[in-house]
Amino acid sequence: MKLLFVAWILLKSLTTVYLKLINVRYSRRDKATIPEVLKDVISVESHEKSKRYLADNTRVDMAQELFHAGVTIALILLLAPWLERWATDLTGRYLTQGLIFFAMLFLVDYVLSLPFKIYDTFVLEQSYGFNRTSSKTFFLDELKGLFLGAILGGSLLLGILYVIQFPVWWWRFAVVIFPFILLIQWIAPVWIMPLFYRLSPLAEGELKVQIKEFALRLGIPLRQIVVMDASTRSSKGNAAFTGFGATQRLILFDTLLHYPPEEILSIVAHEWGHRKHHHLPKQMALSLGITLLVLALANYLTLSWIPVEHFGLSTLYGQFYLAIAVVSPLLFFIEPLTSRWSRKHEFEADRYAVLALGKPEATVRSLKRLIRDNLSNINPHPLYSAWFYSHPSPVERIGAIRGRTST
């Protein structure tokens, strides 16, 4: 049984590594030239740099994937049984035991993963000119994240520990998870994001006037326009509508502010397109449905299939941890379906932006600029992009915007 578990974990990780390898090789083949639609913004030098960036990222990702698989196997087979016994020796209170058990597992995984995060930020991203994070900011962000995780994650974990005391618990997770997700969505712009970034109102000027007029014309309930000091962490640009109800606001990365106004408007229109088409609640409903199906399987395994005595775990929280570790790789194997749905939403948001702004080439130019500035892979392997890409490939998006391909 242990060998079967190891094989299952490795199957997921080795499949990931294989997909990443074929993607890099596909991008470096002789036919992987600059597409005609991008030749006006991407030079040969920039293309070569994007391929090096992809290759370097892939090497780190593959190493991290295999390392994480080894950690998962070691945690289940070696550390989890010991932690379970240690927690039960410390206290007889079930909820306290569960909190100690999962807190220690999290800390071990966090400490082991931290070197990869440091390397990614201060070596890989730094070498390509993306990183602007100081070591002080990085470690302060990590401490804030740990503090926030302890409060929010601990609260969620208490609910989970209570729920799994029922023999059939999978459907009860909706009662715990769904309100928690809604709470996070609601408080994120006003409580969570300001812990990490400085958010200030967009300065008065032509851009603000144009955005307000644009929002008024489209009926966008624009409560606040704020600028995030994203440039203190990265040079990459983005924008988003966050929160809902009283906390809804438009957030612009300060790295976007040097873009021409009509390109910024096209990005804003795209982001509002997601709201207009109700993509967020649809994605949340899909995620919740998939999560409940996976949890139903995990619940079934704990009741009738997993011989937990083979793994040395005897408590409810130990059995739950084992079941989740067993079923989690399923999320990876259904990712092509969720990615396909997400890409459909991106096409819809692009179409909305084009119709709302009435300037398809402005949308194309903003997209080209983001592709160039972020060193995006312009020649992804079809299988890799079908599996992982939440957004269509650059050429697909531009072709759809210009009406040359079917969406």
User: What pLDDT does residue 8 have?
Assistant: 95
For range 382-387, the mean pLDDT = 96
Q: Alpha-carbon distance 344 to 348, whole Å?
A: 6
User: What pLDDT does residue 305 have?
Assistant: 63
Judged against a pLDDT cut of 50, whether residue 405 lies above it is answered with no
Cα 265 from chain centroid (whole Å):
24
Mean pLDDT for all residues in the chain: 91
Tell me which residue of 299, 311, 321, 303 sits closest to 5, measured CA to CA. Answer: 311
Helix (H) or strand (E) holding 361: helix 360-373
User: What pLDDT does residue 117 have?
Assistant: 96
pLDDT band at 94 (very low <50, low <70, confident <90, very high): very high
pLDDT of 166-177, one tens digit each? 999 999 988 888
| Tokens 């809902």, residue located | 244
For range 67-86, the mean pLDDT = 95
Q: Alpha-carbon distance 43 to 167, whole Å?
A: 61
Contact call for residues 97 and 83 (beta carbons, < 8 A): no
pLDDT of 284-316, one tens digit each? 899 889 989 999 999 988 887 666 667 888 899
Share of the chain above pLDDT 70, in %: 98
Q: Alpha-carbon distance 1 to 5, whole Å?
A: 6
Judged against a pLDDT cut of 70, whether residue 404 lies above it is answered with no
For range 4-14, the mean pLDDT = 95
pLDDT of 95-127, one tens digit each? 999 999 999 999 999 999 999 999 999 999 999
Q: Alpha-carbon distance 226 to 203, whole Å?
A: 9
pLDDT of 49-67, one tens digit each? 999 999 999 999 999 999 9
Share of the chain above pLDDT 90, in %: 69
pLDDT of 141-161, one tens digit each? 999 999 999 999 999 999 999
pLDDT of 221-280, one tens digit each? 888 899 999 999 888 878 888 888 888 889 999 998 988 899 899 999 999 999 899 998
User: What pLDDT does residue 227 have?
Assistant: 95
Give Cα separations from 328 to 123, 131, 293, 323 (angstroms).
31, 32, 11, 8
Tell me which residue of 143, 139, 146 sits closest to 122, measured CA to CA. Answer: 139
Judged against a pLDDT cut of 70, whether residue 407 lies above it is answered with no
User: What pLDDT does residue 341 have?
Assistant: 95
User: What pLDDT does residue 137 have?
Assistant: 94
- Contacts of residue 368, Cβ cutoff 8 Å, sequence gap at least 6: 38, 40, 41, 42, 394, 398
CA diameter of the chain: 68
